[in-house]
Structure 1
Amino acid sequence: MSPGETLDPLPDTLILQPPVFHPLVPYVTTIFGGLRAGKMVTLQGVVPLGARRFQVDFQCGCSLHPRPDIAIHFNPRFHTTKPHVICNTLHGGQWQAEARWPRLALQRGASFLLLFLFGNEEMKVSVNGRHFLHYAYRLPLSRVDTLGIYGDILVTAVGFLNINPFVEGGSEYPVGHPFLLESPRLEVPCSRALPRGLWPGQVIIVRGLVLPEPKDFTLSLRDEAAHVPVMLRASFADRTLAWVSRWGQKKLILAPFVFYPQRFFEVLLLCQEGGLKLALNGQGLGATSLGQQALEQLRELRISGSVQLYCVHY
């Protein structure tokens, strides 16, 4: 970008934010673009051996006085005779009726992975990959713009993701969509072997952060002869995204350009019979054709360019 140049406005649905690693608790952060149906928040951590309770609050603001409304209060309690989870809503300084779930799926001294999945009418929570509870909204989800984590908890990572757009319906926990976050230590260029090629239903997921002064970004799939049957290329000079064939032919993808400096991105490629479907930041952007035999012969996934990679999964 040249000095003084401004970014094109992006729809809120295309705005994601980087994961946070090892935050100090209490921890409060803004949720970029707020909450909406189809968004997910993941929380990885450890429950200390002497833990009494902790809470994860999805708040309507972050003021101290007056206290903000809390649309969703998720509160595991370990110090009682029967450990349990309380969910509730704080509105106008008053707590509403508690909703209680026994048989707490979290344990003192154990690590955990919490997933909060936000639907149209309710939030679902899974613990270590298994559904645990659902909680109907009592305040509009659109009011939520802040995440607060408090109490006896050691947090290793917080992630903000979208539902896999390739899952039909999008109301259940996304199948085959990994939530485990990795520390940002992946080197670029990055190469991953595909010993069995690609097959229908397989999803490639790439998450990262664009560097401050980017030049290019490419995601290529190569066969045993080092040919590149398909490549996804982002050009920062003219802000275009395109498929590039093995013969160098370029097909532009007509969509908002999300590869902006110091912004987080998520690329999903779904393999299907006859080609690959593309999604950026949870938004489906069409497909490129490729024969099944060509897909099965792919042996390498390679990513290069001006990005910091957080996760490469397939």
Structure 2
Amino acid sequence: MALYQQLPFFNPSVPFTRLIQGGLQEGTIITVCGRVLSDADRFQVDLKYGSDIALHFNPRYEGGSGYIMHNTLQRGRWGSEERKYETPFPRGQMFALQILVTLSSYKISTNGKPFSEYKHRMPFSWVDRIHVSGNMEVKLVAFQYLVGLFEVDLTKFNKRLNICCATKYNITVPYKSIIHGGLQLGKVIIIQGFINPQANRVVISLRHKTGIAFVYSADFDENLVLCNTYGDGKWGKEEQSELMPFKKGQPLQVTVFCSRHQYQVFVNGEQTHTYSHCHTKLEEIDVLEVSGDVQLSFVQP
């Protein structure tokens, strides 16, 4: 079940600090999407409690190719550094960072690949804030809870989330992925990519075994966005919107937030549409599909 519902943060200014509603739980996933500045020397993502820092994740670019430093600050004193002498965050490039909280450690994934594991040095349940600073732009910060999580390894973590590199359009379209555990309140779905210059349509669908709970379709020929539901062999009443938030030949970032009564759709950081739940058994909605004239770079189902 979803313990807390917290809307994602879009395009915040840096430095960025926010409370994590309800604090960290086992199974919490923190997603940070952004871009490293071309002249960056460092940036950091910190999970904090008061003046203490439970996890200090700090990419640095000094001394050649750079490295990542992990550490903990407790009672004003830094612990022993854990360094990894490689960086998956090239200057000037987009990136996707995810932190999974388990009972024993933070499991960190970068651009769809397992990167590091940092054992807890202070209780993760104390953490109540996230802080992001340094030479970077932040596009999105999101929190959600992974259903049915017990101790998992990094490979299983990435397979369950089906994350791909955010710097290359390397995800096959049409795209289909299982949503493990189905939808839940507070679920955040993130889709990033590039709309083809000659695009006719882009379609995002949330499916269950017998139908489609939510279809979100951008029709470039009609310059409309269409929302609908399919069940019992027939389509529901179509909702049309003349607010077209997509542009041909431009990047896109679509975030679907599952709230108690509706889906809230954000495009490039702006809320554009809502659609009330017709299929109310959210846990039965367990497939995400993306089709049409789009190249995908990052998907978090």
**Scaled by the length of structure 1, what TM-score is found?**
0.55
Q: Percent identity?
A: 30
Please state how far the C-alpha of 1:90 moved relative to its aligned partner.
Answer: 0.3
Please state how far the C-alpha of 1:168 moved relative to its aligned partner.
Answer: 8.4
Counterpart of 1:45?
A: 34
Please state how far the C-alpha of 1:205 moved relative to its aligned partner.
Answer: 8.8
Counterpart of 2:44?
A: 55
C-alpha contact (below 8 Å) 2:20/2:128 kept by paired residues: yes
Counterpart of 2:260?
A: 259
Among candidates 4, 25, 37, match of residue 36 of structure 1: 25
Give structure 1 stretches of 5+ with no counterpart. Answer: 1-10, 62-67, 183-190, 207-217, 229-257, 270-275, 280-286, 289-311
Correspondence 1:118 to 2:101: yes
Counterpart of 2:115?
A: 132
**Which is richer in strand?**
2
Aligned to 1:107, the other structure's residue is in SS state coil
- Residues 62-93 of structure 1 show CA distances to partners (whole Å, capped at 9, x for unaligned) of xxxxxx11000000001222400000000100
Q: 1:205 to 1:97 in 2, by over 3 A?
A: farther
CA distance in 2, matches of 1:93, 1:36: 25
Counterpart of 1:161?
A: 144
Correspondence 1:221 to 2:230: yes
CA RMSD of aligned residues (A): 4.2
Q: 1:27 to 1:203 in 2, by over 3 A?
A: farther
**Scaled by the length of structure 2, what TM-score is found?**
0.57
Bigger radius of gyration among the two = 1
C-alpha contact (below 8 Å) 2:229/2:235 kept by paired residues: no
- Residues 11-55 of structure 1 show CA distances to partners (whole Å, capped at 9, x for unaligned) of 9x5212110111111111000000011001100000011000001
Counterpart of 1:26?
A: 15
Counterpart of 1:102?
A: 85
Counterpart of 2:71?
A: 88
Q: 1:203 to 1:134 in 2, by over 3 A?
A: farther
C-alpha contact (below 8 Å) 2:106/2:120 kept by paired residues: yes
Q: 1:203 to 1:74 in 2, by over 3 A?
A: farther
Q: 1:158 to 1:175 in 2, by over 3 A?
A: closer
The residue type equivalent to 1:40 in the other structure is I
C-alpha contact (below 8 Å) 1:48/1:153 kept by paired residues: yes
CA distance in 2, matches of 1:198, 1:260: 18
CA distance in 1, matches of 2:26, 2:7: 19
CA distance in 2, matches of 1:38, 1:54: 25
Aligned to 1:112, the other structure's residue is in SS state strand
Among candidates 138, 144, 147, match of residue 127 of structure 2: 144
C-alpha contact (below 8 Å) 1:42/1:160 kept by paired residues: yes
